Amino acid sequence: MRNRWQLLVVLCALTSMSIPRQLLSQTSSESERNRQLITRHYDLMNGGKWREAAEMFSPDVRHHLGNWESGREGVVQGKEVLIQNLADIYRTFPDWKMEIVDMVADSQSVVVRCRVSGTHKGTGTKRINGGFLMGVKPTGKHFEVQQIHWYRIHDGKITDHFTNRDDLGMTQQLGLLPRPASATPKNE
């Protein structure tokens, strides 16, 4: 269905026809529902209610890892895997926060640029956050980085999650990797 309305929008633009109001309102209401779903997801995460937030994922959600080893994209599938990853994140960073800075939504996707922060108070057991924190004793240090998350949504559930994270910056702020000399703030 999405391809049909996109084609109609393009045809209307090319031929100077007006876009039917019903189509515009349908697209607008779907975008708004998706925006509200992701905003609610972040509110739950920021309140430490990550188990409730995980219910917004479809059972067979695909988490795209952002690496292309052996020429293929790394993908982890299933809500249970994401629940285990969230448990590890909140065990490692009990004060984990994801503040929405910018959000763009359409009838099938939401993209969020956010400020992510936390204090390293636990030992990571899973290969997440770049794998840098597995078995690492807590530093007690706080970090704040930018992340970008893209969510595909179908029938009110998140079906795909893509992310671009600054794991290097996080690890440097936690004191686990050195910062380049030119990037070190002068007050350190």
* pLDDT of 160 above 80: yes
pLDDT score of 9 more than 80? no
For the chain, the structural domain boundaries read: 29-180
- Residue 17: pLDDT above 90? no
Mean pLDDT of all residues belonging to the chain: 86
Mean pLDDT of 78-105: 96
Residue 119 has pLDDT above 70, yes or no: yes
CATH architecture of 29-180: Roll (3.10)
Distance CA(152)–CA(52), nearest Å, equals 19
35 contact partners, CB below 8 Å, separation of at least 6 = 103, 105, 110
Higher-confidence residue: 61 or 25? 61
What's the confidence (pLDDT) of residue 8?
Answer: 47
Asked if pLDDT for residue 74 goes beyond 90, the answer is no
pLDDT at 128 (0 to 100): 81
Q: Residue 123 pLDDT > 80, yes or no? A: yes
Q: Which residue has the tokens 């975008």?
A: 31
Please indicate whether residue 13 or residue 178 has the higher confidence score (pLDDT).
178
pLDDT of res. 73: 85
Tell me the average pLDDT across 52-61: 97
